[in-house]
Structure formats: C-alpha cells, structure tokens
C-alpha cells in the first residue's frame, strides 16, 4: 500500500521555466510534509517543508502548495536552472512519530 503517490516520474523543463511536482497522500493524520532533493550518488537533503496549518510556503525559488481537503501537495520551482537537475522526493510523517513515508521520486532535468 503506497501512502504517498508522486508524479510525474520524470520531468524535463527548459531553463527559466517552472517545474511542478505533485504528491497525494492517504493518511489524514500526517502533519508534516517535506521535500527532499537528491543529486546522483549523494544522500537526500531537506529542501523545504510545510505543515497543514498553512496553504503555501515559499523559500526563494521553491514553493510548496498544500491542499488539505484534496490531500495533495506540490512543489513549484520557479525560474528553473540546470543546477536544479536532481531527483526530488516528497514525504509525509506524523509529529512526534518521526518515520517518513516517501514518494517514489521525480527525476528533474533542466535543459540549458
């Protein structure tokens, strides 16, 4: 049973464009939704995270949009750059019980 579904599996965006990655979750008790960025051969690193008491969070070119009623959240990368080319994972967990459930990942390629 996959509790966090992520799409698309891969994405190609031109430099300067907007990259959008979507995730849907099933467990309504989840209350922490991070996005991780992973470069080839490296471990993932936290990019940005949101809690369900807000509908949007922005950090630089990265924005999370959260729709609690639809049980969906998405990552928007504005002005995408070749250096953003990486695999992105969404995840969800419960506060106080910190095991993360990950989506299957999206491989982003930003073409120059």
Partner 1 sequence: DGGITQSPKYLFRKEGQNVTLSCEQNLNHDAMYWYRQDPGQGLRLIYYSQIVNDFQKGDIAEGYSVSREKKESFPLTVTSAQKNPTAFYLCASSLPGQLNTEAFFGQGTRLTVV
Nearer to partner 1, 80 or 106 (CB): 106
How many helices and strands (H and E) does the chain possess? 0, 11
The two structure tokens encoding residue 89 = 């994972």
Q: What is the Cα–Cα distance from 21 to 19, expressed in whole angstroms?
A: 7
In degrees, rounded to 5, the angle at the alpha carbon of residue 29 between the alpha carbons of residues 26 and 30 is: 75
**Contact letters (x/-) for partner 1, 74-93, by CB under 8 A?**
---------------x---x
CB of 76 to partner 1, least distance (A): 21
Binding region for partner 1 (CB under 8 A): 6, 9, 32, 34, 36, 41-46, 49, 89, 93, 95-100, 102-105
């Amino acid at each position: 049973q996959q509790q966090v579904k992520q799409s698309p599996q891969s994405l190609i965006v031109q430099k300067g464009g907007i990259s959008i990655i979507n995730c849907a979750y099933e467990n309504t008790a989840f209350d922490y939704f991070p996005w991780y960025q992973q470069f080839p051969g490296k471990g993932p690193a936290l990019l940005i995270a949101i809690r369900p008491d807000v509908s949007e969070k922005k950090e630089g070119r990265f924005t999370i949009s959260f729709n609690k009623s639809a049980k969906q959240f998405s990552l928007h990368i504005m002005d995408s750059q070749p250096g953003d080319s990486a695999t992105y994972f969404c995840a969800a967990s419960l506060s106080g019980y910190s095991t993360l459930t990950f989506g299957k990942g999206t491989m982003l390629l930003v073409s120059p």
